[in-house]
Structure 1
Amino acid sequence: MVQQLQPETTAGVIYPDSDGQPMADNTKQFRWIVTIKENLEILFATRDDVFVAGDLLWYPVQGDNKIRQAPDAMVVFGRGKGDRGSYRQWEENNIPVQVVFEILSPGNTLKEMAKKLQFYQRYGVEEYYVYDPDRIDFNGWLRVGNTLEVIEDIQGWISPRLGIRFDLNPTTLEIYYPDGRKFLTSVELSQKLEQESQRAEQERQQKESALTELEAERQRYQDLLQKLQQQGINPEEL
C-alpha cells in the first residue's frame, strides 16, 4: 500500500543533499545514467511541468531524513523545472517521483536492489526500470494498484508515462523517442549535428552553384541578344 505522506512537521531535521555515495562506479554506468537523464531532459524540454533529475536524493517523508533514495534518473510530472539540492516531497505539492531508472554496476547487490524495489513500491513510483549494461539485462516494473508488478514482456515495451520504447538486442539496450528517434550519447548527438550541418552546407553550396550557373546562362543570353540587335536582327521577328 502506498504510504500517505502527511506526518507532523519535525523541527530541526536536516536533509543532506548528498548521501556520500558516488554517482557511478565505472565509465559505462556513468555514460548510461547521463544518456538516459539528458535524453529525458530533451524529450520534455518544452514541458514546464515535468522535472527530470539524475542522482538526486528523494525524501518522501517530512521529518525523517533516513527515508531516502537517489535514483540514477527520475521523472516527476506535475512539478516545475529548476535546480534543487534534493527532492523533498512535502515541498513539491506532495507529488511522488513517478518514473525511476537504475543502472547496475558490479557493486550492486541483490539485497540492495530488493530494498530499492520495496522503497519505490512503498512511496508511489509508477514505473521502475533497471538495466545491467554488463549482462545486457533489462527489467521493468509497472504499478498495478498498490504494488509494482514485473513487466513480463519488456521487449518493445512503451512506457505509459514517457512514451519511449525499449528494444533489447544481444549487444545493448536501445531506447527510442515517441517519434522514433534513438536516444544518443552527447558524443553521438554532436556527431549527428555536425553531419547535418555539413549536409546543410553542401546543399547551400549546390544551390548557390546552381544560381550562379543560372545567372551565367542569363548573361550569355543577354550578350547574344545584344549582338543580334547590333546586327539589326530582332529575335522576336525570327
Structure 2
Amino acid sequence: MATTTAPTIQPHQISYKEEYLPESDGKPMAETDVHREQMLSLLHALQERFRDKPKVYVSGNIFVYYLDENGQRQSVSPDILVVFGVEKKDRRIYKVDEEGQAPQVVIELTSASTKVEDIVTKHYIYANLGVQEYFLFDPYSETMRPALRGFRLKGGEYTPMTGSRLRSEILGLELTVEKGRLRLYDPKTGERLRTPQEAEADRRAAEKKAAKELKARRQAEAKAAKAEAENARLRKELAKLRAKQN
C-alpha cells in the first residue's frame, strides 16, 4: 500500500497574529436587569446626543486594552465610555495605543460585587490612563451614599465633584438621579435626554399625531371637493335657467 508523506511546512509559511486579545470574559453584560436597562438607556442617550459627530465614539461593555508602566498589555471593560477625537465606527475591542486616545469619560454602574473593583482598581486605572471624568452610579443605592459620584482628573489625581447634579464639562451634560435612575440633562435647554422607551413613545405619538392630521386634511379636502361639486351643479342649473329665459 502506498504511503503519503505530509508536506513539510516551513515556519514562514504559517501566518500567526501578533497577539490574541479576547473580546469577552464570558461574564454577563450586567449584574441585574436594572443595571442592564440603565446601561442600554445611557448608551442610547449618548449615541443619539453625538449622532452627528463623526469624531465621537460612544460604546459600553467593550474591552479597552492599554499598556501598563511595564509595557505589558492589560485590559479594562467600562460600562459606558466616550472618546472624542477618534473615528465613529464599529469596534470589537478598543486599543488605546493604536487609537492614540484614551476615553475621556467613563461611567460605571456599580454593585456590591463590583464595588471594590470600581472604587479602587478602576479608579487607579482610569486616572493613569488619563480619563478626564469618571462617574460611578449605584442603581440600588446599596454600596454608595449618595448613589451618584463623579470625579474630575486634576494633576493626575481625581477630585470629587459636588452637588446633586454633576456637571460633565467634557460631555456638556448634567448627570442626576431621578426615581432611582441616572438621567442626563442638557443644561442649555433644560431638556432631558430620552431613553429608548421614551424615544419610542415619542415616535408613536408623532406617528399618531401625523395620522390624525392627515385624516383631518383629507376630510377637509373631501369636504371642499364636495362643496365645489355642489357649486358647479348650481352654476350649471343657473345657466340652464338663464338660457330658458332668453
Task: Provide the TM-score with structure 2 as the length reference.
Answer: 0.80
What value does the CA root-mean-square deviation take over the aligned residues?
2.3
CA distance in 1, matches of 2:170, 2:102: 14
Letter in 2 for 1:202: K
4+ residue stretches of structure 1 with deviation over 4 A? Answer: 177-181
1:74 aligns with 2:81: yes
After alignment, is 20-29 or 181-190 more displaced?
181-190
Instruction: Pick 1 or 2: higher relative contact order, CA cutoff 8 A, min separation 6.
Output: 1
Aligned residue pairs total 220
Equivalent position of 1:190 in the other structure: 200
Give 1:26's match in structure 2, choosing from 27, 32, 40: 32
Q: Tell me by how many angstroms 1:125 deviates.
A: 0.4
Alignment of 1:205-216 (within 5 A): 205-216=215-226
Give 2:148's match in structure 1, choosing from 132, 138, 142: 138
Give 2:61's match in structure 1, choosing from 34, 55, 58: 55
1:108 aligns with 2:114: yes
> Any unmatched runs of 5+ in structure 1?
1-10, 234-238
- 1:35-73: per-residue Cα shift (whole Å, max 9, x none)? 1112211111211111111111112217423x3210001
> Any unmatched runs of 5+ in structure 2?
1-16
Give 1:64's match in structure 2, choosing from 69, 72, 75: 72
Structure 2 counterpart SS, 1:38: helix
CA distance in 2, matches of 1:192, 1:168: 22
Letter in 1 for 2:173: I
Letter in 2 for 1:64: Q
Equivalent position of 1:148 in the other structure: 158
Larger radius of gyration: 2
Q: Tell me by how many angstroms 1:100 deviates.
A: 0.4
CA contact (8 A) 2:57 2:84 kept: yes
Letter in 2 for 1:84: R
Task: Provide the TM-score with structure 1 as the length reference.
Answer: 0.82
Instruction: Give the direction of change, closer, same or farther, for the CA distance of 1:154–1:14 in structure 2 (3 Å limit).
Output: farther
